[in-house]
Each structure stands twice: as C-alpha cells, then as structure tokens.
Amino acid sequence: MFEEYLQDAYEFLLIAQKSTDDREARRYYRAATFYTAGAIESFLNYVAESFAHAATLTPHEIAFLNDKNLIYSPDKLKVLEKTEYHKIEDKLKVLIKRFLPTLELGKTPWWSELQQFKDFRDSLVHPKKSEDETDINTYHKKVSSGLRATIQGMNEISNGIFKRPIRKQLLDLMPE
C-alpha cells in the first residue's frame, strides 16, 4: 500500500501545483499531505509484518513495531499481547538504531524535514482555526519537502534493513 500512497501523494501534489484556484490547490495539497503521512505509516506496517513473519527481531521489538505490548498474565500463566499504539517517529527510531546505527538523526536532513512535515500534518488534522489560511507557497514547500523526506527516509531504512533501495519508480516521485 505504501507505494500506492506515495504515487497518490505525488499526483495530488502535481494537481495542486497546476491549480489556479487557491481553494482547490489547498484541497489537493491537503490530500497530498494525508497520503504522504499514510505512506510512511503503511511502510512501517509493511516492515513490521515482514519482521513478524521472519521472526528475525526480538519478540518485544516485533510487538513494538506492530503496536502491541507483551504482558505476562499471572492469572493465565502466559504472555498476552495487548494493543498499544506507538508513535511513528518512535518506530522509525527503533529501526534506525537497529539497522542504521551510525546515522545521526540530528544531522540527517530528511529526519528534520520529516519532523517538520509531521508538525504540519498535525496542524491540518487538529486545526486551531476555523478557516485554512495557509499560504499556497507554504503548502507547496511543506508538502514537497515532506514527500521528499518521506521517500528519502524510506529508501535509507530499506537499504539498512533489506540491503536494497526502494523501487526506482518511487525514488522518481521525489519533488525537487
């Protein structure tokens, strides 16, 4: 799914860029924002499922990536899985520390851009104003930067985990 979401985000970004109507452009920039955010979450779910099937990480790491927590039940005398949602950035940090141990997040441009994009996305999901007054140029910068950072991050993590980049067709979706 993450591949389709990236493609959708890119298409919505292109439509927004071509629009001459600000209201319509904002609509498509928002759609691109939500699809980009969905792409990184879907990518993480794909990675987590891969590890769950391969069982190559510790049970606690796999549970964490799959939004679970392992809890010992004294009543049932066994370990139970409890749903426990974890932040996307925390899951990314787990994967980065495990598979890209020399990567310094504070010095990694895509990480900083991804954090800024997350804040932007959050401002759209939880608006504080009744009207969207975001400037079209700001939308363009934030969405382009966020999509680029998402693809760069996915690619770097894929290289670290699977020892290969994401597909070239996805890398070609990076805005300049």
Residue 96 lies in a domain: yes
Helix-helix angle 136-162:22-54, to 10 degrees: 10
Annotate 78-96 with three-state secondary structure: EEEEEECCCCHHHHHHHHH
Residue 105 lies in a domain: yes
Task: Write out pLDDT tens, residues 67-81.
Answer: 998 888 888 888 888
Task: Please give the pLDDT value at position 70.
Answer: 86
Task: Write out pLDDT tens, residues 92-150.
Answer: 999 999 999 999 998 999 999 999 999 999 999 998 877 778 899 999 999 999 999 99
Report pTM.
Answer: 0.90
Question: Residue 152 pLDDT > 90, yes or no?
Answer: yes
Residue 101 lies in a domain: yes
Paired tokens of 38: 């969905």
DSSP class per residue in 20-53: S-HHHHHHHHHHHHHHHHHHHHHHHHHHHHHHHH
Residue 61 lies in a domain: no
Residue 66 lies in a domain: no
**Per the structure, how many domains does the chain have?**
1
Task: Write out pLDDT tens, residues 26-54.
Answer: 999 999 999 999 999 999 999 999 998 88
User: Binning pLDDT at 50, 70 and 90, where does residue 20 land?
Assistant: very high
Alpha carbons within 13 A on the beta-carbon side of 132: 20
Phi and psi for 58 in degrees, rounded to 5?
Answer: -65, 155
| Listed residue (96, 95, 89, 84) closest to 113, CA to CA | 89
Residue 42 lies in a domain: yes
Residue 35 lies in a domain: yes
Residue 60 lies in a domain: no
CA distance 136 to 49: 38
- Domain coverage including residue 131: 2-53+87-171
